[in-house]
Amino acid sequence: MRLYALLTERQCRQPWRDTAEMLIRGGVDAIQLREKRMPDGELLDRARVLREMTAGADVLFIVNDRPDIALLSQADGVHVGQGDLPPAEVRSLLGRDLLVGFSTHSLEQGRAACESPVDYVAIGPVAPTQTKGYDQGIGMDMVGEVCALCAAKGLPVVAIGGIAHDTVMPVMRAGAAAIAACSALCGDRDPLSAAQELGALVEKAVAERGEARE
């Protein structure tokens, strides 16, 4: 996983289903359904649609916050934050077959995440972001420190929050394994081209590090 799209309908300039289709065609590796206020029944229906769309495209499908919706929709995993169910509890519900991602916002939280039963750690916001309501970013030094902590545990880090063209190369150089974006992908008038452009920057950074993509 290198390019991770966060799909939130209110951030999309195109209909959400069209946006998801264009992101898939544009080469994203994962799509996270991120709808904080959607009624449960509608959320499950949307999750099942996205599961069907991603299943045949070799794209991971992740549900934000809701392990129950992840299970019911046969998602690949769930992503939780600091105020959600603890990763250990989520893991007990999901078993080992589904991925668990965990958001962190500081070195202390990153250190704790490294000791949790998660498959990847997200660190951010890298830069100010209206999507997540942060006026300040944590900066590249913090990204690098959390990446170093997680690397020692064999955990990949996803840089998140305020990701744009000018932040892709710095966060990847700081050690991130992937970038996650919402506005820069879903909020673009042409999500397909946006995904291709961000993906090209990610691959350039990966090539700089001499990593082979499996």
Q: How many residues does the chain have?
A: 214
- CA distances from residue 44 to 19, 64, 173, 174 in whole angstroms, order as listed: 18, 12, 37, 36
Dihedral in degrees, nearest 10, Cα atoms 131, 28, 100, 170: -70
Burial class (CB in 10 A: 0-12, 13-18, 19+), 169: middle
Active site residue 103: yes
Residue in 51, 66, 91, 132 annotated catalytic:
132
Secondary structure (3-state) at 204: helix
d(CA 187, CA 6) in angstroms, rounded, equals 10
d(CA 175, CA 208) in angstroms, rounded, equals 12
CB 34 within 8 A of CB 62: no
d(CA 112, CA 129) in angstroms, rounded, equals 24
Residue in 51, 66, 91, 103 annotated catalytic:
103
Residue in 2, 34, 51, 66 annotated catalytic:
34
Residues with a known catalytic role: 34, 103, 132
